[in-house]
Structure 1
């Protein structure tokens, strides 16, 4: 009986040592139970991704160099189709719905953009920026599309509005520095 216990104990000890030394080891502090991932819904993830997309591309105002005398001052590029559709989705959401119960789509989308205003404010001092002028550009974007609504309950049917249209107003603002701008890069000719 004594002979069976020793090899079994040796095998158990080797198994425990091998299990303790496998996998990744972490050097340094551990977060413990706070390192456990928390699942979120697809709706919440898409909402956060859209917020980041808008912040990264459309919520910031660029700061351009000073306006040179005699040059014609025109606004930056007109709003992109993506920006117009995101603004329209905020105003009249289509995403979501319940498959086979109620769905809504926009098909055959065509966007017409026209500039309605382009002007520059007088110079003023902005905190953390310094003296600058704000350049405003206002656009009227008309979106023509086919609105398709599929209702699945109580009686399945499809509603089509082939001449749907929405008007979205998009404002683009950016700043122009005023005066002798010191970028902090230094002069190649010395201090």
Structure 2
């Protein structure tokens, strides 16, 4: 049997993940079976199980693949000299573009992943690592804003990073459930908060 190329292997893996994401959104993580995913993928059971021996491994791959992909999308934003409000808007725009897919929305699936992480310790630790790394990068951005005078010198880098991460994750929740929040809303809200603090002299 000829060996398939790395490119073909990656394409098949993504094909299975696309099928899993579609099934998870329609039926939920626990109601979805491997049989459902096999049918949706249009591959043989042997092919699917050769990539993902269990649904738990498939769930883990679905979460880590989406987090890694999003991380690649936002990496250039961290490198750009953007003020805080434009930065948060750009990140939210990247999240919206990356997560909206044909047949499913990764923002809605993120809620399922967060719920699953409460019972799956391994998944929780993996997600924790991603979010801690992202928060550390946010703290670096805060440090840069302090140096350029775009944020007060007394601002706590870690505290501001936590607020910004909460804002980004909150954007995911609000857009998945309420559907009435846009990236520009975050930028305007953050700008108004900063101006209010400046006016109060705090």
TM norm structure 2: 0.24
Larger Rg: 1
Q: Which has the higher helix share?
A: 2
**TM score, norm. by length of structure 1:** 0.25
